[in-house]
Amino acid sequence: MVVEAIFKLNEMARALSINPSSTIELAHEVQNIERKVDNSYRKVVIKALNEIPNTKDLLLVKDAVEGIEGMADKCQAASDSLTILALSM
């Protein structure tokens, strides 16, 4: 899902000079992807807490999933910046 958000950011950057209004539409798609990643993050953490008995393995999984969720948050922040640019054009 995060890779999809990165591709959408690429589309947003390209559309910024051609059609700024489509940049805003793509921002909604990035926001939806980020929301899906957040929901998946919560589900995976709960599942990991219930199913992984080894603390070391649990922390590794949790750190990996947090990293992915953090990437989605950064994509959302970049999308917000591109939206601001599109609105100023």
pLDDT, one tens digit per residue, over 15-69 is 998 998 899 999 999 999 999 999 999 999 999 999 999 999 999 999 999 999 9
pTM of structure:
0.87
pLDDT confidence band for 76 (50 / 70 / 90): very high
Distance CA 55, CA 84 (A): 43
Within 8 A by CB and 6+ apart from 89, the residues are 16, 20
How would DSSP label each residue in 22-83? HHHHHHHHHHHHHHHHHHHHHHHHHHHHHH---HHHHHHHHHHHHHHHHHHHHHHHHHHHHH
User: What amino acid is encoded at 77 in this protein?
Assistant: A
User: Would you say residue 89 has pLDDT above 90?
Assistant: no
pLDDT at position 1: 86
